[in-house]
A = this chain, B = another copy of it.
């Protein structure tokens, strides 16, 4: 198949153009801008408790990203944009409008937000979008504040629209009367502005074919699959079963998985994909069993400055996540641990990358470049 042609005229394009907007996403909003504060549902406490965290400063947003109140690459990007809008507001108040002080304060916030988490590309992408505003000499601090708030909300709205388009493009790829989709981690409404990337595809498939069944990897150590994906699918009434991460191979070997759909934290120029730890293993299993492996992500996840995945920074998180869960520890005291939070799936294991601009097929160097130019 011609990747360029596919990218410019993707399957399902008519459906995307014709529909009026995203269908229900169960009312899940992981990050909201509300009257000058940022409201997040605390994803660490889901599904047992539904509690909001309200951030009034960029430092609180940074802390929420670090501690994974909010997680998922697109949602982190949205949160960072809103965090910058808070920073600009605070700088305006504090600096009484002196442009040099104002910009220094905003720049410090950008640096602080950048350092929260290293892997998701949507974070530096959103910060760059904001920098394009606060670095302008022709705007007064008050104008910068207004423009940054406008852009932060726009990033949120664009992400919602992107996810919905991703869902429609992706759904057109899921053939079969009774598809069984495996997904890993949570690339859902909670990981984005609201509709989801991988779960956006699943939502859109389900809207067309209610016989869809989903297998959700629990996704140790933080159990985003068991807690968040299972919660979203339950709310949507989408048929699913929860499995531990080491079961996917068993079900594939028995022919019980027809497609894999996952999200992405960063996609490099050649189509390598950083995503939640364990994604690489799923991709190896999918190739072994000839199961199509789709990556669903907004174009803001694509980092064409990196030629391939070898240079993607992989966050290593605290040992306590692996020795137990929450306040419960089940490993012997003193046990040493490794805890890489992401891995890199090589482009050769990826059947297609589904973006809001269309579906990229191998070779991704070409197809992603063409989508970028759209």
| Contact yes or no, B242 A220, CB < 8 A | no
> This chain: how many copies in the complex?
2
What residues of chain B lie closer than 8 Å to A285, measured between beta carbons? 281, 284
| Contact yes or no, A220 B241, CB < 8 A | no
Select which of B240, B247, B340 is within 8 A of A277 by beta carbon. Answer: B247
Stretch at the interface among A107-115, A157-165, A248-256, A354-362: A248-256
Cα–Cα, bound, A306→B218 (Å): 33
Known contacts being A284-B285, A322-B244, is A331 close to B227, with CB within 8 Å? Answer: yes
The 0/1 profile, CB within 8 Å of B marked 1, for residues 305-337 of chain A is 000000000000000001101101011101111
Interface of A is mostly: mixed
A234 is an interface residue with CB less than 8 A from chain B: yes
**Smallest Cβ-Cβ distance to A245: which chain B residue:** B246
What residues of chain B lie closer than 8 Å to A284, measured between beta carbons? 249, 284-285, 288
A265 is an interface residue with CB less than 8 A from chain B: no
| Contact yes or no, A242 B337, CB < 8 A | yes
Select which of B219, B234, B278, B332 is within 8 A of A249 by beta carbon. Answer: B278
| Contact yes or no, B231 A332, CB < 8 A | yes
What residues of chain B lie closer than 8 Å to A322, measured between beta carbons? 218, 226, 242-244
| Contact yes or no, B241 A253, CB < 8 A | no
The 0/1 profile, CB within 8 Å of B marked 1, for residues 337-349 of chain A is 1111001100000
